[in-house]
Structure 1
Amino acid sequence: MSSKLIRLIGKSAPAALVAALFATAALPVAAQEIELKLSHFLPAGHGMHRDWFVPWGEELAKRTNGKVKLTVFPAGSAFGNPARQLEQATSGVVDIAHGLRGVPAGRFNRMGIIEFPFLVETANAASRTLWEMYPKHFAGEFPDTVKVLGLHAHNAGLIHTGAKQVKTMDDLKGLRIRSPSPQINAMLQQLGATPVGLPPGEVYENLQRGVIDGAVFPWDPINSFRLFEVTKFHLDARSYTASFYFVMNKRKYDSLPADVKKAIDDTTGAALTERFGDWWNQWDAPGLEAASKKGNAMSSLSAEERVRWRDALKPTTEKLLTDLEGQGVKDARAIFAEMQQRIAKYEGAKK
């Protein structure tokens, strides 16, 4: 406060007001809270929301001495549309978004090779492979308006059906099965089923109404979307996965103070990737438990049937690679081979 202003105040203001002004001037300026908005397409009861997003916000607040407040918008919110996650982050409608790679179709084709039939069985191997290969092979697929915080995939999934149990390839023929991506579409078609593209949140109603006969999912959505109520049979096929991205608006990231950037960097990327294996195992458990309690029938592919499926799907893998090459992904086969090598490192050689 200038001496001239002080003299003016002193002549015209009561002593109490002058004292209050001095006291106010002496107070430090409080650090302004930084709100970060995160959107995803899963219900608030899902493990990702409960075990990842909410605790991550608490961790960011802790590491920045309360400077950061993370607000999470799940499915059912204004920002919960699975097809809009990437655009919401690129446009700055939200600051951070988590989305399913295959929704909408035709996006991140290089990354989508991880979803080829019988390539990977565990979330740990898939997620580590994706992140290790990201800088060289996948970074160019993402717009430069976002910073990629993580990539991951779920444990190899199951085939869940309502009225008809599936144990063999022949059982799949003619069934309408919900699928999350073109890669899984191709797998189902080769096995004799009819794939139907649907976001996870629309599966319950379509199963209930008989629009579809089943769906491919890992165990965790069976609980979080309550699909155990509209399915009766579960085949542990372990023949596919689906992958996800976790991104942040680049302009927002660049605008943050150094300590906030460091908090984000230290809790994403490689550090985040290490957690997906244990997380997915944890998230899958309630789905299996819910279906078991309901009395649903569980089965696995026999060793002979598994070999039959793998052999039947070899042409599918070849066609997927050829199609990618035709779309300009000239190194599709090299990416696929590198994925096989990295996955084998984490899972052991495939039998």
Structure 2
Amino acid sequence: MQHGLIKSMTLALAAAAFAPLASAQEVTLKVHFFLPATSFANTLFIQPWCERIAKESNQRMKCQTYPSMQLGGTPPQLFEQARDGVADVVWTLPGYTAGRFPSVEVFELPFMMQNPEATSKALWDYVGQYAAAEFKDVKPLAFHVHGDGVFHMTNKPVRTAADLKGLKLRAPTRMTNKFMALLGATPVSMPVPQVGDALSKGVIDGAVVPYEVVPSVKIQELVKFHSETDPTEPAFYTSTFVFAMNKAKYESLPADLKKVIDNNSGQALSGLIGKAFLQADAEGKKLTAKNTTNVIPKAELENWKKLGQPLTDAWVADMNAKGHNGKEMLDGARALIARHAAGK
């Protein structure tokens, strides 16, 4: 009798000991993005992030990635998909929905960005100070920018603004489209996945993207010329990106898994992604070796800065009209970029 009692108590204690393990929540996050699985964005940033959260959660939280819009919809709809829970985590460009995120467009103004790692950290800080309301419907995990934009042209290189006159040129965001128009081009807005088809069919004469995008679109096979800007100068354009999570999904996580997400988001992750994109640029550029590359000199870029100034002035005025202090936001963005570039 006593032996049976001890045995049953032992079994009960054993069951109690294993109960937390049995009931430990396992979570699969649906991660949705617009580039293919082979893209540098996936191999250098999204997959490593997924591996870290799996490891730090003892494999209790894992990703199921859906590259190339495999969950449906279009790239401009990704933000809504994170908001509405169609996906748990998305990676997209705020600029794909023109005018919806005006505060962060300051980072897409001409000649703002020189170092993507520092500028990505600055962007995270800037959103916290000036633009949190624009992203209140999701849980931001990171904000970042890409490396220097490059002209990829089918028939002739870009050496001066005059070379762009009358050419149809793809650009990613409202600000860059406006800048291309000021330089004399006819801007054509489209997400990256459409660029290859548009180049091959002659719908556009060229595109501005960083080298990082080259392999995803096979740009090196579709154009003959690559025109960079003087590397000592800030980039003539960059784009902002957001890596965001569905709020309800985050809130549903137990405290320890929330902590794993918290430890893998924020300013540090933003900088890490910016650094990965710089690495990706170097890899993408290697693929263009057989084509012709030129550098647009500093003297010509000074002319471009003057041509682009009305765009900066208009952004400040637009922010003022929306009840913000546009000049303060512009100065704040520049100060944050400079501070992080100096390693402070």
Note if contact 1:40-1:79 (Cα within 8 Å) is conserved in structure 2: no
Q: Which residue of 2 aligns with 1:3?
A: none
Counterpart Cα distance in 2 of 1:142 and 1:170:
39
Matched, 1:156 2:156: no
**Could you report, residue by residue, the CA deviation over 1:43-70 in whole angstroms, capped at 9, with x for unpaired residues?**
1111221122222222212111121121
Match of 2:304 among 309, 312, 324: 309
Matched, 1:275 2:241: no
Counterpart Cα distance in 2 of 1:224 and 1:244:
17
Matched, 1:127 2:124: no
**Could you report, residue by residue, the CA deviation over 1:113-167 in whole angstroms, capped at 9, with x for unpaired residues?**
10001111221232011111122211111133x1111111111211111112111
The aligned amino acid for 2:277 is: W
In structure 2, relative to structure 1, the CA distance for the partners of 1:56 and 1:79 (3 Å cut) is farther
Matched, 1:300 2:281: no
Match of 1:95 among 80, 88, 100: 88
TM-score with structure 1 setting the length: 0.87
Q: Which residue of 1 aligns with 2:47?
A: 54
The aligned amino acid for 1:156 is: D
The aligned amino acid for 1:261 is: K
**Could you report, residue by residue, the CA deviation over 1:272-320 in whole angstroms, capped at 9, with x for unpaired residues?**
023134211211122210011xx21111111211111112222222123
1:244 Cα deviation from its structure 2 partner: 0.4
Higher relative contact order (CA 8 A, sep 6+): 2
Residue pairs, 1:32-51, within 5 angstroms: 32-51=25-44
Give secondary structure in 2 for the equivalent of 1:274.
helix
Query: C-alpha root-mean-square deviation of aligned residues, in Å?
Result: 2.0
Note if contact 1:167-1:300 (Cα within 8 Å) is conserved in structure 2: yes
- Percent of pairs identical after alignment? 37
The aligned amino acid for 1:105 is: A
In structure 2, relative to structure 1, the CA distance for the partners of 1:103 and 1:124 (3 Å cut) is same
Give secondary structure in 2 for the equivalent of 1:114.
helix
1:176 Cα deviation from its structure 2 partner: 0.6
1:321 Cα deviation from its structure 2 partner: 2.4
Matched, 1:260 2:257: yes
The aligned amino acid for 1:75 is: S
Counterpart Cα distance in 2 of 1:26 and 1:257:
22
Residue pairs, 1:229-248, within 5 angstroms: 229-237=221-229, 238-248=235-245
Q: Which residue of 2 aligns with 1:185?
A: 177
Counterpart Cα distance in 1 of 2:338 and 2:244:
28
Matched, 1:330 2:324: yes
Q: How many residues align?
A: 324
